[in-house]
Structure 1
Amino acid sequence: MKVAIFSDVQGNRPAMDEAVAHILDWRPDLVVMAGDLINRGPSSLACLERFDELRRTRGWLPVNGNHETWIQRCGHEAPRDALEAEMRLFADWTYKQIEPRLDALVDWPDHLCFNAGTDDSWVHVTHGTLVSNRHGIGTSVTDEELRGTLPTDLALFVTAHTHRPLERVLDGLPILNVGSVGSPFDGDPRGSYALLTFERGAWSWEIVRFAYDRQQAARDFDDLGFIEHGGPLARILFEEWKRARPLMQLWRRDFETAVLAGERALQPTVDAFLATLD
């Protein structure tokens, strides 16, 4: 049995196209998209429509990510005030982009399980852990913190969310983080996904890193309106994609408290933060 699992496309159509081409060439028996297909990037609608086509024609399966959850919530919960509206402009822009195809997000599960025909070959796929789809597994999470957040009696637990590929073992349970197709955070701008193979009664897997047309992806951020209409924080998201590093958490650490308290305006803090990166 051959299974491909990918995640965190984040509205990056050139990266998704390349990953899809690679996966189709491999001819897997099953493909799972483990969440965060949309948002943070400029091409959420195109990515959603492409995945929905693959779901309908080839049986590819989705799992909810935190960005699917958030974007749908933005559609029915108005911002509480002007500041929140400014801070979530990029998410509301994404919602307006995908609104004509909200039907393609209906009934996505939070968890997905499959096996290779034996009781001891079960694989559990989710975007985070049993805690939530925002509870990522990275190198800084201790074994003690992970205990109780994962299912039992599995051959393999597959997760995503952190945008960093990872392999580790907890109390005999292999854990595989498939990383990110469209916006890695490990300093390597290449996308990643996982290929699983069941042979001789056991699963084996590999993380695949792939290059794609990043010049086109960069143009999309501008040409499709993400930077222009996504508000000040969209510029930080673009820098995260460009540098393949998490930056939003650094802006939050240094500036968010003052912005939320009304002591500083949002735009100047983004300008100041980006200036520190040069």
Structure 2
Amino acid sequence: MKIAFISDIHGNAIALDAVLENLKRNLVDKVCVLGDLCYRGPEPKRSLDLIRSLDTDVIKGNADEWVVRGVREGEVPGKALELMNEERNWTVTRLDQEDLDYLQSLPTELKFEHGGISIYAYHATPESLFEVVLPDAADSDLEAKLMQKESSQLYVYAHIHKPYIRYINGKIIMNIGSVGLPFDGVAKASYGLVEIEDGNIRTSIQRVSFNQEKVVELYHHENYPNAEMMSGVIRNGKL
């Protein structure tokens, strides 16, 4: 059984196309989507439609919450608040009410078991869509923030756009990075692949190339409010 965890598409449908094609080539059996579907990219509607067409488990991320109700003071640096709401408003104009209702209705966690392996997935932490838990956090912090709510063998999250895999007390924590906006300096889409067979488990981070310059072209063609900065992220894989 091959299970792919994808997240943080952020309206980059070109990167999502590349990842979905990669999933087909890897003969993935199941796809789970961990949020942040359409905000901050040039193709919010197409990205959301692609995700919905998968007819699979999807949970909510902080950016999905922002699309629904706006970015609030204290959730981002003060100097970025006005611009990020401008980006949010641009995104909303590309969606319809059904899309907003869909984002509003998404659950915030995913729990299941396969082949004797229990899996617990969420966007940022089990208690928050917004809290940041970085790859270099102490084991004690990872346990306290990511592993306390549910007892599982594998914990999967997204949000930070920096993929990694850690092992603590015989359990696995995996951050799957970002399909649309990688922040770790590798300008390729990332996703997490979990392979389960006969009670054994193998985890890996997959990196997928996509047409960066086409994405940059779309930011400008669609008059995205923050096109220059977002184009730099796409080209360099970091803020």
Question: What TM-score, normalized to structure 1?
Answer: 0.76
Q: Which residue among 155, 158, 172 is the counterpart of 1:157?
A: 155
Counterpart of 2:62? Answer: 66
More helix by share: 1
When structure 1 is superposed on structure 2, of 96-105 and 34-43 the one drifting more is 96-105
- Where does the alignment leave 5 or more consecutive residues of structure 2 unmatched? 72-79
**Equivalent residues in 2 for 1:223-238 (5 A)?**
223-226=221-224, 230=225, 233-238=226-231
| SS of match in other structure, 1:163 | coil
- Output the CA distance in 2 between the equivalents of 1:35 and 1:170: 25
For residues 222-277 of structure 1, the C-alpha deviation after alignment (integer angstroms, 9 at most, x for no partner) is 11221xxx2xx55333322332112xxxxxxxxxxxxxxxxxxxxxxxxxxxxxxx
| Aligned amino acid, residue 211 of structure 1 | S
Query: Larger C-alpha radius of gyration, 1 or 2?
Result: 1
- Where does the alignment leave 5 or more consecutive residues of structure 1 unmatched? 76-82, 247-278
Question: Matched residues, percent identical?
Answer: 28
Any conservation in 1 of the 2:212–2:234 contact (CA below 8 Å)?
Answer: no
Verify: 1:104 aligned to 2:85, yes or no: no
Verify: 1:46 aligned to 2:39, yes or no: no
Verify: 1:192 aligned to 2:185, yes or no: no
Verify: 1:95 aligned to 2:96, yes or no: no
Verify: 1:245 aligned to 2:238, yes or no: yes
For residues 42-101 of structure 1, the C-alpha deviation after alignment (integer angstroms, 9 at most, x for no partner) is 11111001111222xxxx2111111001110129xxxxxxx9545521111112212342
How many correspondences in the alignment?
230
Instruction: Give the root-mean-square deviation of aligned CA atoms.
Output: 2.2
- Output the CA distance in 1 between the equivalents of 2:150 and 2:50: 34
For residues 207-227 of structure 1, the C-alpha deviation after alignment (integer angstroms, 9 at most, x for no partner) is 11111111211111111221x
Any conservation in 1 of the 2:68–2:104 contact (CA below 8 Å)?
Answer: no
When structure 1 is superposed on structure 2, of 20-29 and 156-165 the one drifting more is 20-29
Question: What TM-score, normalized to structure 2?
Answer: 0.88
Any conservation in 1 of the 2:219–2:227 contact (CA below 8 Å)?
Answer: no
Verify: 1:134 aligned to 2:127, yes or no: no
For residues 93-150 of structure 1, the C-alpha deviation after alignment (integer angstroms, 9 at most, x for no partner) is 11221234224325211100111143xx110111111231222332232223233222
| Aligned amino acid, residue 195 of structure 2 | T
